[in-house]
Amino acid sequence: MSAYDAELDTFAGLDTQVVGISVDSLFSHTAWQQKGIGMLKYPLCADFYPHGEIARKYDVFREGPPIPGINERAVFVVDKTGKIAFSQVYELGEQPNNEDALRVLRAL
């Protein structure tokens, strides 16, 4: 998440808006930033109620083990027409490589 924050100017230069979405509550997002990674400069949305509705629509909500009720770590690039131009699911502990999304954005 911090890697996207560090490259917001690069994304903005490609006419792009970075947005994070998690099934955690806004209170959890704030606490995580304040006590963990630092405050992000891009929107972090809560897919909290109804729990995981957006994650389910993108097929990244975990229904079963090992950690049910959370969303996968995933990156989506949605073009201006609403079409998904890129999607990639990563391991929860893995920091996605910005270059994957940037390569797609440059081609759009």
Find the domain containing 77 and state its range: 2-103
- 84: CB partners within 8 A, 6+ apart: 76, 77, 78
User: In CATH, what number is assigned to the domain containing residue 49?
Assistant: 3.40.30.10
Q: How many domains does the chain have?
A: 1
What is the spatial distance between Cα 6 and Cα 69, in angstroms, rounded to a whole number? Answer: 29
Evaluate whether 44 touches 51 at the Cβ level (below 8 Å). no
The CB density around residue 97, as the number of other CB atoms within 10 Å, is 13
User: What's the mean pLDDT in 83-104?
Assistant: 90
Q: Which residues pair with 74 in a beta bridge?
A: 89
- Residue pLDDT, tens place only, 44-87: 899 999 999 999 999 999 998 888 999 999 999 998 899 999 99
Residue 57 lies in a domain: yes
pLDDT bracket for residue 92 (50, 70, 90) = confident
pTM recorded for the entire structure: 0.82
